[in-house]
């Protein structure tokens, strides 16, 4: 919500700089950005009272005295004899209708500077004169009003709740089918306005409207909440009514409306009619500064406490009377927050806190289990629990993000399989993943929760000369699990590639274990030390393809062997992402040792050409191949 | 002269995998809070509306309860928890003050864009005792943030609004580029919530706080895109050893 700095200054007796004003707004909890001379405010949802120049100035009154810079119409107003029926006075306990008839609107050439500036600086679009005034009044005083072209309303107006499907065409022209509970204004049973959200096109004002009926109401927030989102009708009115407006503000607002109109065109007639269905109570809270001090941990004197509240508009009598615009205040804790805002959260001194119980966190079994797999080369993944696969005991999401996410998964298998295929597409040839997660199912309306461990493997066993030519398979998985989980029944399943869009030949194996089936002894056998966190600086993952180059070193001078291995184990160079020895062979016949090395290249900036890779290879391996008695057959 | 028979094969190092960075940060925060005296409690991710909303003073028509914000399941009979606070409520109902709990894990909101995910992780804490004040809360938050970001970190508190705390605050830290970054939410537990847990709010008061694990992880590791955590890319995951 945007506020023009100069407009806000008009409501303050002092003229603080934009920086000072910004600091005070932050202290009061009104987050904002500054764009030139505009405060782009983001209010917390409980502060509907601040959604106007007047409201914001009321809150700032604690620092800068508030003034009322605007004129209101003080003359007599003729009564309006409107046939209005309110069939839901609980929802709308107070409402006024003001009818203004003006001389020909066509002669209005330009708006006064305050009105013109509001549109030009804030960037809001002009619509027609009366709607523009309505928008300006809402900006100034926080009370939405709705303008009907009075000539379009010939019969009684009824405010009511409608519960069946009803068509409604908004003043923006959108066709809406109202469903479920809605509060509406009707004429002849046709909806002319969705209460508190937006009026209809059939009664909307135009540039030619010269007789307007202005509705100024108080709707309980519950009647409006969610409607604008539900029907995609974003409006300033809905935003304000959802957060609560001042039930006592209507007369002042309508008189200000008249004044602004009068400031622009000659008025022929003004008539008003107000309906108040319940007595508006004054809510109060006992004066208890001790309680406030106990909540905040401060030592504030009662006189100072009450002085602060007075500046915020609270009326101090035997009790603290809450202003009618402060719907967010109902308890001592609410008042404590007011005091904290005034003092400044950052100015409240910290007081040492030492908890009475000392617990210390034991290294739990799940962490023990995870570290066991990490040590074996597995990486942990976390997946979203949504799936398109429906099982007989699946939990259904009523409002999924999309139809592929309509159920909660009953197994970790599909998520892990997706993770595996994702990495295969990124040229990973040795994949070992696991996930531990809660899985939820439903049986006879009872929700069951189970913690599961899912493990998936495929590809080479490892990137070293012992494992490179061996595959991750069911035997590997069984051996891995049997060693520690010998008391647990598990099934190692081969996942067929037949239905997968994958050209890879490596077999995929998966198993899933219920954590509850693991005994304490199993966990105790996983003797692992706590791993402290290492906050590395993450390097962006490259999405360009990598290229592998294999080299076979022939070492005839055995004395050079250790040097060669040392150098091969510590290779680095341009574009080199990874390097490992994948083959080791003693050729006794030729009295030489063969060492196979794979170099993997990748660039952050694009796909590497053969020339670039070859250049890098030459630089990386030069020191080794220049050694006498060491050669790489085929390498130029 | 050496014979090739005497040559030892190159040693093979066991290459470890990696714990997920989000779980690492979550556990790191929980360990720190345990050292401060908070006991960790667990609870379900599929929750009732009563525990996820009602007990926490989130009224029936609060926007957070709308279908566009919360995932409902099985004809609105339950929700995917939108925070880990219901775990604390369940634990408070079974305990008497003084009590100090942490809850942590996955939470769900109906969001999915460049900066919001439908699932993320929270670590929350609550402490209820006699005479717990906002000044105590500030001390605790300072302890937490000094531990995570170092003693030099500049911290500011801002008024905020949560239905379950009053007063409520959001806490920012000053980043290296001079911008304030929102890092956690906290407040004095609303007496309505204390009473809902059958604890006398006239005698006891409480403080509560909640941290977004992804937020902390992004700052500590320098990850710019929250979605990277959930792509399961081995080039990403294996950096966090």
Q: Say which of A26, A401, A433 has its CB closest to residue B158.
A: A26
Q: Which residue of A has its CA nearest to B229?
A: A382
CB A100 within 8 A of CB A212: yes
A350 Cα to chain B: minimum distance (Å): 4
The secondary structure of B51-91 as a DSSP string is HHTGGGT--TT-GGGSTTTS-EETTTTEEE-SSSHHHHHHH
Q: Looking at the complex, report in whole angstroms how far the Cα of residue B108 sits from the nearest Cα belonging to chain A.
A: 10
The answer to whether the CB atoms of A351 and B20 lie below 8 A apart is no
Q: What is the pLDDT of residue B68?
A: 78
* A78-276 CATH fold: Phenylalanyl-tRNA Synthetase; Chain B, domain 3 (3.50.40)
Asked: is A547-631 a CATH 3.30.70.380 domain? The reply is yes
The bridge status of strand A386-387 relative to strand A379-380 is unpaired
How far is the C-alpha of A552 from the C-alpha of A565, rounded, in Å? Answer: 13
Return d(Cα A426, Cα A429) in angstroms, integer: 9
Q: Which residues of A touch B143 (CB under 8 A)?
A: 353
Q: By CA distance, what is B166's nearest residue in A?
A: A333
Flag whether the pTM goes above 0.95: no
Q: Among residues of chain B, what percentage have pLDDT more than 90?
A: 84
- Per the CB < 8 A criterion, the answer to whether A401 and A386 are in contact is yes
**B40, closest residue in chain A (CA to CA):** A361
- Helix then strand count (H, E) for chain B reads 7, 10
pLDDT at A530: 66
Closest CA to B158 of A332, A300, A42: A42
Q: Are A318 and A288 in contact (CB under 8 A)?
A: no
Please tell me whether residue B11 adopts helix, strand or coil conformation.
Answer: coil
Burial class (CB in 10 A: 0-12, 13-18, 19+), A259: middle
Taking only the tens place, the pLDDT of each residue in A290-323 is 999 999 999 999 999 999 999 999 999 999 999 9
Q: State the pLDDT at residue B1.
A: 47
Contact A294 B140 (CB under 8 A): no
The candidate with the shortest Cα–Cα distance to A599, out of A633, A572, A635, A626, is A572
Asked if A382 reaches chain B (Cβ–Cβ under 8 Å), the answer is yes
Longest dimension (CA), chain A: 119
- The CATH code of the domain at A2-60 is 3.30.56.10
Most B-contacting residue of A221, A341, A359 (CB-CB within 10 A), to test interface: A359
Task: Give me the residues of A, 42-61, that contact B with CB < 8 A.
Answer: 44-47
Partners of A378 on chain B (C-beta within 8 Å) are 17
pLDDT tens figures, A221-251:
999 988 998 899 989 999 999 999 999 999 9
Protein fold of A284-346: Phenylalanyl-tRNA Synthetase; Chain B, domain 1 (3.30.56)
SS (H, E, C) A133-165: HHHHHHHHHCCCCEEEEHHHCCCCEEEEEECCC
Q: State whether B61 and A360 contact (CB < 8 Å).
A: no
Q: Which residues contact A442 (CB under 8 A, 6 or more apart)?
A: A393, A394, A395, A448, B74
> For residue range B31-85, what is the model confidence (pLDDT) as tens digits?
999 999 999 999 999 999 999 999 999 988 787 887 778 999 999 999 999 999 9
Per the prediction, chain A carries an average pLDDT of: 92
Supply angle C-alpha A85, A87, A89, rounded to 5.
Answer: 100
For residue A561, the chain B residues in CB contact (below 8 A) are 2, 7
**Residues in A touching B4 (Cβ below 8 Å):** 558, 586-588, 591-593
Cis peptide before A70 (omega within 30 of 0): no
Which residue from B39, B222, B241 is facing A537, i.e. has the nearest CB? B222
CA A463 to chain centre: 42
Total CB pairs under 8 A between chain A and B: 292
Mutate to test the interface with A, among B9, B34, B172 (most CBs of A within 10 A): B9
Q: A346 to chain B nearest CA, in Å?
A: 6
Contacts 24+ apart (CB under 8 A), A479-484: A480/A376, A481/A455, A481/A511, A481/A513, A484/A372, A484/A522, A484/A525, A484/A526
The reply to whether A2-60 and A78-276 are identical in fold is no
**In chain A, which residue's Cα lies nearest the Cα of B239?**
A538
Q: Do A382 and B28 touch (CB under 8 A)?
A: no
**Nearest C-alpha in A relative to B101:** A359
How far apart (Å, rounded) are the C-alpha atoms in residues A349 and A356?
22
| Contact assessment for residue A206 and residue A149, using Cβ atoms and an 8 Å cutoff | yes
3-state secondary structure of A65: coil
A350/B142 touch (CB, cutoff 8 Å), yes or no? yes
pLDDT at B2 over 60: no
- Give contacts of A 517-546 with B, CB under 8 A: 531, 533-542
Task: Return all residues near B201 (Cβ < 8 A) that are at least 6 apart.
Answer: B191, B192, B194, B195
ipTM score: 0.96
Give chain A positions within 8 Å (CB) of B68: 229, 399
Contact B77 A538 (CB under 8 A): no
Among B111, B131, B220, which Cα is nearest to B173's?
Answer: B220
Average pLDDT score over residue span A181-200 = 93
Residues B182, B145: Cα–Cα separation, whole Å: 12
Tens-place pLDDT, residues B203-232? 999 999 999 999 999 999 999 999 999 999
Q: Is the pLDDT of residue A174 over 70?
A: yes
* Residue A270: half-sphere exposure toward Cβ, Cα within 13 Å: 16
Confidence band of A528 (pLDDT split at 50, 70, 90): low
Please state, in angstroms and rounded to a whole number, the distance separating the CA atoms of residues B116 and B214: 10
The encoded tokens of residue B208 equal 């509560």
Sign of the four-CA dihedral A390, A394, A399, A401? negative
d(CA A278, CA A363): 62
Q: Which pLDDT band, with edges at 50, 70 and 90, does B5 fall under?
A: confident
B117: its two tokens: 């995910």
Q: Evaluate whether A518 touches A485 at the Cβ level (below 8 Å).
A: yes
The torsion of the CA quartet A572, A575, A577, A583, rounded to 10 degrees, works out to -70
Contacts of A31 in chain B (CB under 8 A): 158
Alpha-carbon span A284 to A290, nearest angstrom: 17
Say yes or no: A356 contacts chain B, CB-CB below 8 A.
yes
CA pair distance A3, A22, nearest whole angstrom = 12
pLDDT value at residue A361: 64
Task: Give the integer Cα–Cα distance in Å for B193 and B89.
Answer: 8
- Closest chain B residue to the Cα of A343, Cα to Cα: B159
- Selecting from B18, B136, B231 the residue whose C-beta is nearest the C-beta of A379 gives B18
The CB density around residue A187, as the number of other CB atoms within 10 Å, is 19
A341 interfacial to chain B (CB closer than 8 Å): yes
Query: CA quadruple A181, A185, A187, A190: dihedral positive or negative?
Result: negative
CA distances (Å), A336 to each of A145, A285, A317, A350, B127, in order? 34, 12, 18, 16, 19
Nearest CA in chain B to A556: B4
- For residue B161, the chain A residue with the least C-alpha distance is A44
**Distance in Å, alpha carbon of B22 to nearest chain A alpha carbon:** 9
Residues of A in contact with B66 (CB under 8 A): 226, 229
Mark yes or no for CB contact A294/B133 under 8 Å: yes
Domain boundaries, chain A: 2-60, 78-276, 284-346, 365-525, 547-631
Work out the pLDDT band at B4, boundaries 50, 70, 90: confident
Q: Give per-residue burial for A215-230: e unless 16+ CB within 10 Å, then b.
A: bbbbbbbebbbbbbbb
Distance from the B124 Cα atom to the nearest Cα atom in chain A, whole angstroms = 15
Q: How far apart are CA A236 and CA A199, in angstroms?
A: 12
Model pLDDT, residue A414: 96
- CATH code matching the domain that covers A365-525, chosen among 3.40.30.10, 3.40.640.10, 3.30.930.10, 1.10.10.10: 3.30.930.10
Q: Does A446 touch chain B (CB under 8 A)?
A: no
**Chain B interface test: which of A296, A382, A393, A586 (most B C-beta within 10 Å):** A382
Q: How far, in Å, CA of B85 to CA of B74, rounded?
A: 22
For the stretch A533-574, pLDDT in tens is: 889 899 999 989 999 999 999 999 888 899 989 988 889 899
Rounded to a whole number of angstroms, the distance from the CA of A161 to the nearest CA of chain B is 17
CB neighbour class for B16 (10 Å; exposed up to 12, middle 13-18, buried from 19): middle
Burial of A513 (0-12, 13-18, 19+ CB in 10 A): buried
Q: Using the beta-carbon criterion (under 8 Å), do B232 and A386 form an inter-chain contact?
A: no
Domains of chain B, with CATH numbers? 17-237 (3.30.930.10)
In this structure, the dihedral spanned by the alpha carbons of residues A523, A528, A529 and A532, taken in order and rounded to 10 degrees, is: -90
Q: Tell me if B240 and A538 make a contact (CB, 8 A cut-off).
A: yes
């Amino acid at each position: 919500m945007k506020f023009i700095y100069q407009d806000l200054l008009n409501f303050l007796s002092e003229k603080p700089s934009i920086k000072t004003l910004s600091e005070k707004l932050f202290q009061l909890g009104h987050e904002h950005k500054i764009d030139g001379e505009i405060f782009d405010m983001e209010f917390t949802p409980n502060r509907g009272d601040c959604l106007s120049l007047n409201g914001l100035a009321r809150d700032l009154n604690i620092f800068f005295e508030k003034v009322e810079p605007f004129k209101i119409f003080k003359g007599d107003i003729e009564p309006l004899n409107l046939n209005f029926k309110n069939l839901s006075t609980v929802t709308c306990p107070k409402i006024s209708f003001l009818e203004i008839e003006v001389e020909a609107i066509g002669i209005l050439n330009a708006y006064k500077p305050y009105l013109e500036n509001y549109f030009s600086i804030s960037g809001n679009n002009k619509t027609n004169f009366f709607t523009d005034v309505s928008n300006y009044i809402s900006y100034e005083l926080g009370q939405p009003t709705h303008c009907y072209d009075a000539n379009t309303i010939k019969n009684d107006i009824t405010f009511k709740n409608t519960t069946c499907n009803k068509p409604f065409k908004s003043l923006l022209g959108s066709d809406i089918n109202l469903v479920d509970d809605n509060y509406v204004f009707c004429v002849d049973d046709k909806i002319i306005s969705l209460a508190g959200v937006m009026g209809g096109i059939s009664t909307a004002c135009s540039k030619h409207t010269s007789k307007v009926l202005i509705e100024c109401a108080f709707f309980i927030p519950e009647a409006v909440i969610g409607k604008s989102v539900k029907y995609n009708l974003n409006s300033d009115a809905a935003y304000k009514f959802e957060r609560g407006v001042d039930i006592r503000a209507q007369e002042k607002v309508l008189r200000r409306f008249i004044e602004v109109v009068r400031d622009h065109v000659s008025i022929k007639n003004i008539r008003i009619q107000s309906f108040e269905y319940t007595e508006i109570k004054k809510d109060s809270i006992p004066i208890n500064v001790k309680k406030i001090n106990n909540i905040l941990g401060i030592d504030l004197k009662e006189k100072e406490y009450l002085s602060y509240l007075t500046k915020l508009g609270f009326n101090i009598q035997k009790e603290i009377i809450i202003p009618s615009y402060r719907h967010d205040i109902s308890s001592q804790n609410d008042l404590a927050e007011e005091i904290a805002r005034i003092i400044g959260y950052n100015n409240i001194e910290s007081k040492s806190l030492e908890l009475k119980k000392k617990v210390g966190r034991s290294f739990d079994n799940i962490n023990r289990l995870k570290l066991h797999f990490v040590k074996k080369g597995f990486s942990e993944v976390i997946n979203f629990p949504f799936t398109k696969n429906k099982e007989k005991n699946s939990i259904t999401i009523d409002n999924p993000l999309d139809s592929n996410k309509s159920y909660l998964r009953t197994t970790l298998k599909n998520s892990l399989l997706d993770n595996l295929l994702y990495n295969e597409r990124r040229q990973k040839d040795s994949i070992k993943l696991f996930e531990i997660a809660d899985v939820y199912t439903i049986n006879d309306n009872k929700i069951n929760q189970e913690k599961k461990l899912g493990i998936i493997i495929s590809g080479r066993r490892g990137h070293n000369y012992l494992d490179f030519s061996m595959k991750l398979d069911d035997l590997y998985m069984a051996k891995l699990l049997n060693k520690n989980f010998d008391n647990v029944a598990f099934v190692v399943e081969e996942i067929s590639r037949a239905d997968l869009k994958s050209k890879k030949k490596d077999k995929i194996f998966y198993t899933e274990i219920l954590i509850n089936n693991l005994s304490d002894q199993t966990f105790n056998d996983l003797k692992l030390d706590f791993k402290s966190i290492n906050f590395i600086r993450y390097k962006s993952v490259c999405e360009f393809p990598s290229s592998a180059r294999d080299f076979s070193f022939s070492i005839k001078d055995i004395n050079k062997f250790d040097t060669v291995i040392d150098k091969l184990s510590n290779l680095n160079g341009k574009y080199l992402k990874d390097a490992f020895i994948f083959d080791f062979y003693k050729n006794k016949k030729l009295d030489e040792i063969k060492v196979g090395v794979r170099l993997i290249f990748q660039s952050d900036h694009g796909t590497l050409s053969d020339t670039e890779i070859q250049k890098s290879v030459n630089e990386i391996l030069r020191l080794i191949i220049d050694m006498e008695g060491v050669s790489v057959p085929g390498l130029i | 002269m050496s014979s090739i028979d005497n040559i030892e094969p190159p040693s093979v190092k066991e290459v470890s995998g990696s714990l997920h960075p989000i779980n690492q940060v979550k556990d790191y925060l929980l360990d720190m809070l345990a050292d401060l005296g908070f006991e960790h409690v667990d609870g379900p991710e599929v929750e009732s509306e009563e525990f996820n909303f009602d007990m926490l003073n989130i009224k029936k028509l609060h926007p957070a309860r709308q279908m566009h914000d919360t995932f409902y399941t099985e004809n609105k009979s339950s929700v995917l928890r939108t925070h880990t606070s219901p775990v604390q409520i369940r634990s408070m109902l079974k305990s008497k003050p003084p009590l100090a709990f942490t809850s942590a894990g996955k939470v769900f909101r109906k969001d999915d864009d460049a900066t919001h995910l439908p699932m993320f992780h929270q670590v929350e804490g609550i402490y209820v005792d006699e005479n717990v004040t906002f000044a105590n809360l500030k001390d605790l938050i300072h302890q937490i943030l000094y531990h995570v970001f170092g003693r030099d970190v500049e911290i500011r508190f801002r008024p905020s609004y949560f239905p379950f705390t009053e007063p409520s605050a959001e806490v920012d830290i000053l980043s290296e580029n001079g911008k304030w970054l929102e890092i956690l939410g906290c407040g004095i537990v609303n007496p309505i919530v204390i009473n809902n847990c059958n604890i006398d709010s006239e005698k006891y008061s409480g403080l509560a706080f909640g941290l977004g694990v992804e937020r902390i992880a992004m700052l500590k590791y320098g990850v710019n895109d929250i979605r990277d955590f959930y792509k399961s890319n081995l080039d990403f995951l294996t950096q966090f050893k």
